């Protein structure tokens, strides 16, 4: 997919499809009004027949409209056109992308910008369109023997019509951002969707090397189990102990600013399959535990987005990758392990493994002297009870960082909501035998998991994103969502 802008009159263009937004169907404006008179009121006649529903995002594809050079005209309803919220506009661009996704349509020109979006500029509008074109035509066919993608997807050239040249810069920025975010989401989705017998810790390590090859601004460094053992990462290694797959600590270093500028460090949970270990999970739906590396996948996605946009910031992406299996060498309930920080941990439940891989990664990254640290993890089923499948759980030891992430989530339509990390909860993690236990009992499971991590993040500003509810969809639409790449990229854009 290729997306650009043009200032040329869209009515004269020889295009596969002219996309015209329709507001008040009785009072046509802008390009639609011009196209209507050019076509001898052909369009208004069709609208009078009520062929286009009034609800925002409804579409009607027309062929051979008289006197227009376009092969097709796609009418897109903007509702009554009075006040278009950003949520509505996203719905409209998604519907447009779906209507365009036919192999017959080789190119298109969009005039959706003829309408203003409440509180958003043209950068945002162009970004919504770019993101929609990529995200809504996403297909995952790695494991299919027959690939249907080529016949089902809009692979053509898209153009955004900009009537006023002085707005070109703004639209251009939106195209760059939207494409980069969508590509980052696609990478995250691909990694999440890949079967766990293929997507192993070693596979993720190779992906990091591929990213390094594709983007000279990214350097990748891998630590194997022997190197982690030397560093004393007893918590992380206790998770991979029962698996034949070696754990990997994957560090990706993106330099977009001067070396003395402190980096943002992202840490992703990369449990490539979570059986629960000896505290084994029940079998129903266990296949979905291949998605237990979606935090890691989002780190990969963000690194790629940032490199594509050449943001002038420094970002380090660290992935703690391990497979959680029961085996003769697996960690057992009651085993006590020593983390890199020196703190001892009683592993009362081997299914609470995410915090074990993360705590050592969170200790390790202090060497980067981070400005802020954000970890991203499919950490607890409890966050789904608290916030459902709509909202990421946010916990933090820094109010400004928490506010900034919340705002970024609102802006990017990829929301999070904060939960407290108060001392009362911390007490639930006390152990009779070690410095702390890895579970905190039945209540407040998401918060006690956050409290566990907080023990290892005292030296820097830190936020934890529990994405167990949002990282993938279940049922017929089963698959990775690419969240929270939009929120994180928005946060980084706001900083740069």
Question: Which of the following is catalytic: 91, 189, 207, 355?
Answer: 355
Distance CA 133, CA 157 (A): 10
Q: Which of 65, 171, 294, 382 binds ligand BES (CB under 6 A)?
A: 382
Query: In the complex, what is the shortest distance from the CB of residue 63 to Zn ion, in angstroms, rounded to a whole number?
Result: 51
Q: Which of 274, 323, 375, 414 binds Mn ion (CB under 5 A)?
A: 274
Which positions from 280 to 309 touch ligand BES by CB under 6 A, shown as an x/- string?
A: ------------x-----------------
Which positions from 264 to 303 touch Zn ion by CB under 5 A, shown as an x/- string?
A: -------x--x-----------------x-----------
Q: In degrees rounded to 5, what are phi and psi of residue 153?
A: -125, 145
Q: Which does 302 bind (CB under 5 to 8 A by kind): ligand BES, Zn ion, Mn ion, none?
A: none
Query: In the complex, what is the shortest distance from the CB of residue 235 to ligand BES, in angstroms, rounded to a whole number?
Result: 14
Is 265 within 8 Å of 370 (Cβ atoms)?
yes
Contact flag: residue 354 with Zn ion (CB under 5 A): yes
Residues 84-113 that bind Zn ion (CB under 5 A): none
Annotated catalytic, 230?
A: no
Distance CA 17, CA 291 (A): 38
Q: Which does 18 bind (CB under 5 to 8 A by kind): Mn ion, ligand BES, Zn ion, none?
A: none
Other beta carbons within 10 angstroms of residue 421's beta carbon come to 18
Which region among 103-111, 190-198, 366-374, 375-383 touches ligand BES (by CB under 6 A)?
Answer: 375-383
Q: Which of 468, 485, 487, 488 binds ligand BES (CB under 6 A)?
A: 468
Q: Which of 378, 392, 428, 481 binds ligand BES (CB under 6 A)?
A: 378
Contact flag: residue 95 with ligand BES (CB under 6 A): no
Query: In the complex, what is the shortest distance from the CB of residue 273 to ligand BES, in angstroms, rounded to a whole number?
Result: 10
Half-sphere exposure (Cβ direction) of 97: Cα atoms closer than 13 Å? 22
H or E element: which one contains 7?
none
Q: Which does 349 bind (CB under 5 to 8 A by kind): Zn ion, Mn ion, ligand BES, none?
A: ligand BES
- State the DSSP string of 81-129: SS-B-HHHHHHHHHHHHHHH--TT--EEEE-GGGS-BTT--HHHHHHHH
Nearer Cβ to ligand BES (292/360) = 292
Cα 88 to Cα 79, 414, 444, distances in angstroms: 9, 15, 35
Distance CA 60, CA 76 (A): 7
Cα 36 to Cα 31, 114, 330, distances in angstroms: 8, 15, 71
Which region among 227-235, 254-262, 377-385, 407-415 touches ligand BES (by CB under 6 A)?
Answer: 377-385
- State the DSSP string of 393-412: EEEES-HHHHHHHHHHHHHT
Beta bridge partners of 393: 417, 466
Q: In degrees rounded to 5, what are phi and psi of residue 391?
A: -130, 135
How many residues sit close enough to ligand BES to count as binding (CB under 6 A)? Answer: 15
H or E element: which one contains 280?
none
Q: Which of 128, 136, 240, 380 binds ligand BES (CB under 6 A)?
A: 380
Q: Which does 468 bind (CB under 5 to 8 A by kind): ligand BES, Mn ion, Zn ion, none?
A: ligand BES
Residues 137-176 that bind ligand BES (CB under 6 A): none
Contact flag: residue 439 with ligand BES (CB under 6 A): yes
Beta bridge partners of 269: 320
Contact flag: residue 353 with ligand BES (CB under 6 A): yes
Distance CA 215, CA 308 (A): 8
Distance CA 91, CA 131 (A): 12
Question: Which of the following is catalytic: 281, 461, 473, 495?
Answer: 281
Is 438 within 8 Å of 380 (Cβ atoms)?
no
Is 74 within 8 Å of 122 (Cβ atoms)?
no
Annotated catalytic, 355?
A: yes
Q: Which of 30, 86, 170, 349 binds ligand BES (CB under 6 A)?
A: 349
In the block, residue with structure tokens 């070396």: 259
Sheet holding 2-6, edge to edge: 2-6, 157-161, 107-110, 18-22, 72-77, 59-63
Nearer Cβ to Zn ion (315/356) = 356
Q: Which of 212, 346, 351, 411 binds Mn ion (CB under 5 A)?
A: 351
Nearer Cβ to ligand BES (179/238) = 238
Contact flag: residue 323 with Mn ion (CB under 5 A): no
Which residues bind to Zn ion, rule: CB under 5 A?
271, 274, 292, 354
Which residues bind to ligand BES, rule: CB under 6 A?
274, 292, 349, 351-354, 378-382, 439, 445, 468
Residues belonging to the active site: 281, 355
Which residues bind to Mn ion, rule: CB under 5 A?
274, 351, 353
């Amino acid at each position: 997919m290729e997306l650009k802008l043009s200032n040329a009159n869209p009515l004269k263009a020889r295009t596969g499809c002219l996309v015209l937004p329709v507001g008040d169907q009785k009072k046509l404006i802008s390009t639609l009004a011009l196209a209507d008179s050019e076509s001898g009121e052909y369009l208004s006649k069709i609208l009078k027949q009520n062929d286009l529903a009034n609800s925002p995002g409804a579409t009607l594809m027309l062929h051979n409209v008289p006197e227009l050079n376009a092969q097709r005209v796609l009418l897109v309803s903007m509702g009554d056109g009075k006040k278009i919220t950003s949520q509505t506009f996203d719905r409209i661009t998604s519907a447009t992308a779906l209507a365009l996704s036919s192999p017959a349509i080789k190119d298109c020109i969009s005039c959706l910008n003829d309408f203003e979006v409440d509180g958003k500029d043209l950068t945002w509008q162009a970004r919504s369109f770019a993101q929609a074109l990529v995200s809504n035509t996403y297909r995952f066919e790695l494991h299919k023997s027959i690939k249907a993608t080529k016949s089902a997807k809009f692979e053509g050239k898209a153009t955004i019509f900009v009537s006023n040249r002085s707005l070109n810069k703004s639209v251009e920025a939106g195209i760059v951002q939207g494409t980069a975010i969508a590509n980052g989401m696609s990478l995250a989705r691909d990694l999440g969707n890949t079967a766990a017998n293929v997507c192993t810790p070693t596979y993720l390590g190779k992906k990091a090397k591929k990213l390094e090859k594709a983007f000279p601004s990214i350097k990748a460094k891998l630590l194997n189990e022997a190197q982690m053992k030397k560093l004393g990462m007893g918590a992380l290694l206790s998770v991979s102990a029962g698996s034949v797959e070696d754990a990997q600590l994957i560090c990706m270093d993106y330099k977009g600013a001067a070396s003395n500028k402190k980096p943002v460090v992202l840490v992703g949970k990369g449990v490539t399959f979570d059986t629960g270990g000896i505290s084994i999970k029940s079998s129903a739906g266990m296949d979905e535990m291949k998605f237990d590396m979606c935090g890691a996948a989002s780190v990969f996605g963000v690194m790629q987005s940032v490199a594509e946009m050449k943001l002038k910031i420094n970002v380090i992406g660290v992935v703690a990758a391990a497979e959680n299996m029961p085996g003769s060498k697996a960690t057992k309930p009651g085993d006590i392990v020593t983390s890199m920080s020196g703190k001892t941990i009683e592993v009362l439940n081997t299914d609470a493994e995410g915090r074990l891989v993360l705590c050592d990664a969170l200790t390790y990254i202090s060497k980067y002297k981070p400005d802020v640290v954000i970890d991203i993890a499919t950490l607890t089923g409890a966050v789904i009870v608290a916030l459902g499948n709509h909202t990421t759980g946010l916990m933090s030891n820094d109010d400004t960082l928490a506010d900034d992430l919340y705002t970024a989530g609102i802006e990017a339509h990829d929301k999070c909501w904060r939960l407290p990390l108060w001392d009362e909860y911390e007490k639930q993690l006390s152990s009779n035998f070690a410095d702390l236990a890895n579970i905190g009992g039945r209540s407040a499971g998401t918060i006690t998991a956050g409290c566990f991590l907080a023990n290892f993040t005292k030296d820097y500003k830190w936020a934890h994103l529990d994405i167990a509810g949002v990282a993938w969809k279940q049922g017929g639409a089963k698959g990775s969502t690419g969240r929270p790449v939009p929120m994180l990229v928005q946060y980084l854009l706001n900083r740069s």
